[in-house]
């Protein structure tokens, strides 16, 4: 009696299914596409970092106008700045869920208090010593961010990025030294306050990045930062000794126009740090924003940078380019490795099949009625 033909569909369960890539709607293409999409989202920090540089660069060029024209006190500048934070906070929170978890409030408040508290302490330090002594110390805050990110966030940077980091930090210090400095450089309370500001602002960027790694959205972090700034308004009035009522209306109006640029830039900083590594975002943005400020000052005020400032511009551009290039290169290598791993997993599961697995698959395949070839 001739052997009957095998049934077209066997009811016996196979030990291993056919590879997903051979079925319609397999996961091979989806895995590769998902990896590419994730990498694209990760590197979108460059867009927000560029916007940050633009807003902070323009703000830096005109931030001294209220004091230079009207003698507006720094305390009122802080008060108006904290109020202008409400503008970007309103647009950031529209359509976004406010994260009510305690961890979101903790890191949001830490980011806000270190930033706003450092600003108030800086005003106090500037009242005791000139800016050319204080700003070089404060400008080292990205170094604090890099160290904390390497230690606590386990971020890693390549050798090329290390060279760029050193150049960027040197540029930040050189660009923060005003021309025509002189006078006593003796240490004192101002030095302690400058170091505290440096640590506070460096920790602020770390707290922003940490919040993002814990799943806190940008709008929530910036919302808590806005609340932190508003909470410290009474401290600013105490430092001023009251409300200055003799200033013309142009002073607060000009202050609001310049400080809203600062506030929007702070939002872009949060967005950049949630998408990029703190070891790259913080040094790059802090190095490039003063470069734009110097260029605008040259165009508007006809003010040439000092020799140190010129060297700082070159170092800032070179260092930032090296860091961005190194980060992009490492990202491309990660995408390539992830895509290859995704294709492999889509075909055979989490691991490549062993010889025993292939043998069991072949046995089950034949037992279902498929003849040996």
Q: What is the mean pLDDT of each run of 10 residues along the chain (373 residues)?
A: 45 41 38 45 82 96 92 94 97 94 98 96 83 87 96 93 94 84 61 94 98 97 98 95 89 96 97 96 95 92 87 94 87 57 49 52 51 47
Is the distance from CB of 131 to CB of 183 less than 8 angstroms? no
3-state secondary structure 210-243: HHHHCCCCHHHHHHHHHHHHHHCHHHHHHHHCCC
Contact 20, 229 (CB under 8 A): no
The pLDDT of residue 38 is: 46
Query: How far is CA 107 from each of CA 5, 114, 215, 227, 270, rounded to the nearest angstrom?
Result: 69, 10, 11, 13, 12
Residue 90 three-state SS: helix
Using a 10 angstrom Cβ sphere, with 0-12 exposed, 13-18 middle and 19 or more buried, the burial of residue 177 is middle
pLDDT at 343: 47
Q: Which of 202, 161, 174, 118 is nearest to 305 (CA)?
A: 174
What DSSP assignment string belongs to 175-198? HTS-TT--S----SHHHHHHHHHH
Task: Give yes or no for a contact between 148 and 213, defined as CB atoms under 8 angstroms apart.
Answer: no
Closest CA to 278 of 111, 75, 57, 100: 111
Alpha helix stretches (DSSP H) within 74-140: 74-84, 86-93, 102-126, 131-138
User: Burial of 81 by CB count in 10 Å (0-12 exposed, 13-18 middle, 19+ buried)?
Assistant: buried
Cβ contacts of 89 within 8 Å, gap of 6 or more: 219, 222, 223, 226, 267
Asked whether the beta carbons of 165 and 146 are under 8 A apart, the reply is: yes
User: CB-hemisphere CA count at 13 Å for 188?
Assistant: 12
What per-residue string of b and e applies to 6-45 under the rule 16 or more CB within 10 Å gives b? eeeeeeeeeeeeeebeeeeeebbeebbeebeeebeeebeb
List phi, psi (to 5°) of 31. Answer: -65, -45
**Neighbouring residues of 185: CB distance < 8 A, sequence distance ≥ 6:** 133
Whole-model pTM: value is: 0.79
Distance CA 324, CA 231 (A): 36
8-state DSSP, 22 = G
102-121 core/surface letters (b: 16 or more CB in 10 A; e: else):
eebbbbbbbbbbbbbbbbbb
Q: What is the pLDDT of residue 56?
A: 96
Q: Give the model's pLDDT for residue 210.
A: 97
């Amino acid at each position: 009696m001739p052997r009957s033909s095998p049934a077209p569909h066997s009811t016996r369960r196979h030990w291993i299914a056919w590879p997903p890539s051979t079925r319609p709607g397999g996961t091979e293409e989806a895995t590769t596409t998902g990896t590419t999409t994730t990498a694209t989202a990760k590197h979108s920090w460059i867009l927000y970092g560029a916007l940050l540089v633009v807003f902070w660069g323009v703000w830096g060029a005109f931030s001294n106008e209220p004091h230079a024209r009207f003698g507006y006190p720094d305390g009122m500048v802080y008060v108006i700045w904290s109020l202008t934070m409400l503008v970007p906070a309103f647009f950031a929170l529209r359509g976004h869920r406010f994260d009510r978890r305690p961890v979101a409030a903790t890191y949001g408040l830490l980011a806000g208090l270190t930033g706003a508290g450092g600003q108030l302490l800086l005003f106090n330090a500037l009242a005791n010593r000139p800016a050319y002594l204080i700003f070089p110390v404060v400008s080292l805050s990205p170094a604090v961010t890099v160290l904390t990110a390497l230690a606590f966030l386990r971020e890693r940077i390549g050798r090329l990025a290390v060279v760029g980091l050193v150049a960027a930090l040197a540029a930040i210090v050189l660009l923060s030294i005003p021309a025509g400095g002189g006078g006593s450089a003796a240490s004192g309370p101002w030095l302690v306050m400058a170091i505290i500001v440096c640590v506070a602002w460096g920790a602020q960027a770390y707290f922003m990045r940490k919040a993002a790694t814990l799943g806190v959205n940008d709008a929530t972090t910036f919302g808590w930062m806005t609340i932190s700034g508003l909470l410290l308004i009474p401290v600013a009035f105490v430092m001023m000794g009251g409300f200055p009522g003799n200033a013309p209306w142009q002073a607060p109006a000009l202050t609001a126009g310049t400080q809203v640029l600062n506030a929007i830039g702070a939002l872009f900083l949060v967005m950049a740090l949630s998408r990029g590594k703190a070891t790259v975002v913080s040094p790059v943005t802090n190095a490039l924003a003063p470069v734009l400020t110097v260029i605008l000052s040259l165009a508007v005020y006809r003010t040439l940078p000092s020799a140190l400032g010129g060297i700082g511009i070159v170092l800032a551009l070179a260092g930032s380019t090296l860091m961005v290039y190194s980060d992009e290169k490492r990202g491309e290598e990660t995408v390539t490795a992830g895509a290859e791993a995704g294709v492999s997993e889509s075909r055979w599961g989490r691991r490549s099949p062993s010889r025993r697995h292939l043998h069991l698959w072949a046995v089950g395949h034949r037992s279902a009625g498929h003849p040996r070839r």
